[in-house]
Structure 1
């Protein structure tokens, strides 16, 4: 019976492709389900043979660890070069959105705290 290996919702396309390539390289039979036309179905990778789950899970865990280390080192390199995106970069790119989000945070904080403090 088929067994779900990985849910693909919010998984970047490059990561999905690398995982599929990894499974194919190790001769693990799998298939992929999409989110469907309306995006309400479950996009996932499924193993055809249930007995390959442990091997696939171990491969996926090691891949995830390696991808994390690679992404972290890329971020650190950008940070060392002074090219990593900061909050100020985002604020410069779209100041209206940042001000709107900050206003929403302050309004929510005000209405959350106001009943307990005599601010009104």
Structure 2
């Protein structure tokens, strides 16, 4: 029976590539399902042999801990250099999108609160 090792929803391509390489390096057979056309399924990386499940999960736990440390270090380096993404930086880089989102939020609030407002 196959086992889902990694759901690919919101998984960056580089992380999925690293997981594939990790499984190949340790000779763990797997296959991959692609996301569905309408976004119902995000796809995943599946183990083909049930006996590999424990070993693969242990490898994944170690990998995720290592990746977390690397990502935190990269973020701290970006913060130190002043290149880390911030709310204000994103607003400056995409002012039209930010304004559109703000207007959409205000419109939704008005539609939601309209029955309760007395004029």
TM-score with structure 1 setting the length: 0.82
Give the Cα separation in 1 of the matches to 2:46 and 2:24.
Answer: 13
Matches within 5 A, 1:1-120: 1-35=1-35, 38=37, 43-116=43-116, 118=117, 120=119
**Aligned residue pair count:** 118
Give every structure 1 segment of 4 or more consecutive aligned residues whose post-TM-superposition deviation is greater than 6 Å.
none
Helix, strand or coil at the partner of 1:83: coil
CA RMSD of aligned residues (A): 2.1
**Deviation readout 1:31-79 (Å, 9 max, x if unpaired):** 122236x365552111111011111112112211211221111111111
**Distance 1:98-1:18 versus aligned 2 partners, 3 A rule:** same
Instruction: Specify every segment of 5 or more residues in structure 2 that has no aligned partner in the other structure, as ranges.
Output: none
Give the Cα separation in 2 of the matches to 1:115 and 1:104.
Answer: 18
Instruction: Specify every segment of 5 or more residues in structure 1 that has no aligned partner in the other structure, as ranges.
Output: none
Give the Cα separation in 2 of the matches to 1:75 and 1:25.
Answer: 28
